Amino acid sequence: MQTSTSTSTTTTSRAIGIDLGGTAIKGAIIDGSGVVGAVTRVPTEAHGGGQRVLGNILSLIGELIEKSGAPASSFVGVGIGTPGFVDGDGTILGGAENLPGWKGTQVYSPVTERFGLPAAAANDVTAVALAELMFGAGRGVKNMACFALGTGVGGGIVANGRLYKGSHGMAGELGHIVVETGGRECPCGQKGCVERYASATGIVQTAIEMAAEGGQTQLAQLARGNPAAVTSKAVYERVAEGDELAVRVHENACDMLGRAVGIMINAFSPDRVVIGGGVAMAGGVIIEAVKRYAALHSWPAIFERCEIVPAQMGEDAGVLGAGALAIEEFGG
Note the residues at the interface with its own copies (CB under 8 A).
Answer: 85, 87-88, 93, 142-143, 155, 157, 159-160, 162, 164-168, 170-174, 176-181, 183, 188-190, 192, 259, 262-264, 266-271, 296-302, 305
Residue 161 or 227 having the CB closest to its own copies: 161
Q: How far is the CB of 92 from its own copies (least distance, A)?
A: 11
Residue 104 or 314 having the CB closest to its own copies: 104
Q: How far is the CB of 106 from its own copies (least distance, A)?
A: 15
Q: How far is the CB of 174 from its own copies (least distance, A)?
A: 6
Give the separation between CA 222 and CA 88, rounded to whole angstroms. Answer: 43
Residue 171 or 234 having the CB closest to its own copies: 171
Give the separation between CA 119 and CA 108, rounded to whole angstroms. Answer: 5
Give the separation between CA 163 and CA 171, rounded to whole angstroms. Answer: 10
Q: How far is the CB of 66 from its own copies (least distance, A)?
A: 36
Task: Please state, in angstroms and as integers, the Cα–Cα distance from residue 189 to each residue in 98, 174, 181, 281, following that order.
Answer: 19, 15, 14, 29
Give the separation between CA 299 and CA 248, rounded to whole angstroms. Answer: 26
Give the separation between CA 289 and CA 291, rounded to whole angstroms. Answer: 5
Q: How far is the CB of 237 from its own copies (least distance, A)?
A: 30
b or e along 50-67 (b: 16 or more beta carbons within 10 Å of the residue's beta carbon)? beebbebbbebbeebbee
Q: How far is the CB of 144 from its own copies (least distance, A)?
A: 10
Residue 100 or 166 having the CB closest to its own copies: 166
Residue 243 or 329 having the CB closest to its own copies: 329
Give the separation between CA 123 and CA 131, rounded to whole angstroms. Answer: 13
Residue 58 or 122 having the CB closest to its own copies: 122
DSSP state of 217: S
Residue 192 or 278 having the CB closest to its own copies: 192
| CB contact at 8 A, 289 and 258 | yes
Q: How far is the CB of 247 from its own copies (least distance, A)?
A: 22
Identify which of 251, 253, 244, 254 has the alpha carbon closest to the alpha carbon of residue 221: 244
Residue 72 or 159 having the CB closest to its own copies: 159
Q: How far is the CB of 123 from its own copies (least distance, A)?
A: 11
**In the chain, which residue ranges form alpha helices assigned H by DSSP?**
8-12, 50-68, 108-115, 124-135, 195-198, 200-212, 218-225, 232-240, 244-268, 284-296, 300-303, 317-330
Torsion from C-alpha of 28, 322, 262, 252, nearest 10 degrees: 60
Q: Backbone phi, then psi, for 286, in 5-degree steps?
A: -75, -45
Q: How far is the CB of 162 from its own copies (least distance, A)?
A: 7
Residue 180 or 237 having the CB closest to its own copies: 180
Taking the alpha carbons of 303, 309, 315, 320 in that order, is the dihedral positive or negative? negative
H/E stretch holding 93:
strand 92-94
